[in-house]
């Protein structure tokens, strides 16, 4: 261990003594090796266990796309729950490491099944203007966590977002479906030939974004598509 690292650790401990980090969910002071949430809340995360049921309620949403073989959400996104707090901090408070943490935990769950073996992981891309504004793509952080556990590369060059849709959340459900139609582009479709593609998003709501992307990816003669979200409404 070098001197710089020791100094950094001492400094971090010093800061934590003055401003102790607390659990996002229950506000108890975090101890060493805990990040964002305490061990108690981590164990109590509202897992959907969707991934254990191949024909779950989310999978039904994408039944029209035959290449989609797996759809799952890690957590239940109920209104006042911990999933909402975590995703909110990840998206709007700059806590990008929450994405890594969630991705790693869910990646472990998925790895243990031994059934999902993607060749490539795509985060749902942000438009470059939004990326500049936020500083990072929250779905990419999740994808990187999944990538560590599943030992699969994340790609952010093949799939891009062409259109800037900043007011999407304010639009009605119908116009949202129309809106996502030509938003994304697969830059090098030949690179996806016969590949098992995992597509990662933070929250799955209507399924419009994931559905539109899945259809575009399916056209590239991929082998299979897996849709994975960190949270979905019940």
**Residue 110 tokens, joined:** 């998925």
Strand partners, 199: 122, 227
- Using the minimum distance from each CB to Zn ion, give the nearer residue, 24 or 146: 24
Question: Can you tell me the distance from the alpha carbon of 71 to that of 61, in angstroms, rounded to the nearest whole number?
Answer: 9
Contact (Cβ atoms closer than 8 angstroms) between residue 231 and residue 75:
yes
With beta carbons less than 8 A apart as the criterion, state whether 163 and 129 touch. no
Shortest Cβ distance from residue 21 to Zn ion (Å)?
11
CB of 12 to Zn ion, least distance (A): 21
Contacts of 185 (CB under 8 A, 6+ apart): 159, 160, 161, 162, 216
Tell me the β-bridge partners of 35.
37
Residue with Cβ nearer Zn ion (98 or 146):
98
Residue among 39 and 166 whose Cβ is closer to Zn ion: 39
The C-alpha atoms of residue 51 and residue 108 are separated, in whole angstroms, by 12
User: In this complex, which beta carbon is closest to Zn ion, that of residue 40 or of residue 57?
Assistant: 40
Return the structure tokens found at 78: 């109920």
Residue 20 or residue 181: which is nearer to Zn ion going by CB? 20
Decide: 226 and 197 in contact? Cβ < 8 Å.
yes
Which residues are near Zn ion by CB under 5 A? Answer: 23, 25-26, 38, 41
Q: How far is the CB of 220 from Zn ion (least distance, A)?
A: 43
From the CB of 13, what's the least distance to Zn ion, in Å? 21
In the complex, the smallest distance separating the C-beta of residue 28 from Zn ion, rounded to whole angstroms, is 5
Cβ pair 208, 182 in contact under 8 A: no
């Amino acid at each position: 261990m070098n001197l710089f690292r020791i100094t950094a650790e001492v400094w971090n401990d010093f800061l934590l003594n003055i401003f102790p980090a607390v659990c996002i969910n229950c506000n108890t002071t975090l101890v060493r090796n805990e990040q964002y949430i305490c061990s108690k809340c981590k164990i109590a995360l509202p897992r959907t266990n969707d991934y254990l049921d191949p024909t779950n309620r989310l999978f039904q949403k994408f039944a029209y796309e035959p290449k989609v073989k797996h759809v799952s959400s890690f957590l239940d996104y109920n209104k006042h729950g911990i999933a909402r707090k975590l995703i909110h901090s990840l998206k709007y408070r700059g806590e990008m490491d929450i994405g890594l943490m969630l991705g790693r935990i869910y990646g472990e769950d998925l790895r243990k099944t031994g059934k999902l073996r993607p060749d490539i992981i795509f985060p749902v891309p942000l438009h470059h203007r939004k990326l500049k504004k936020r500083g990072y793509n929250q779905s990419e952080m999740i994808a990187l966590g999944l990538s560590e556990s599943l030992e699969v590369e994340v790609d952010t060059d093949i799939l891009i977002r062409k259109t800037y849709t900043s007011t999407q959340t304010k639009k009605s459900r119908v116009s949202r479906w129309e809106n996502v139609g030509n938003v994304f582009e697969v830059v090098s479709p030949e690179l996806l030939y016969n590949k098992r593609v995992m597509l990662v998003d933070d929250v799955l709501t209507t399924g419009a974004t994931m559905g539109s992307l899945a259809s575009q990816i399916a056209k590239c003669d991929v082998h299979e598509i897996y849709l994975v979200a960190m949270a979905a409404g019940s």
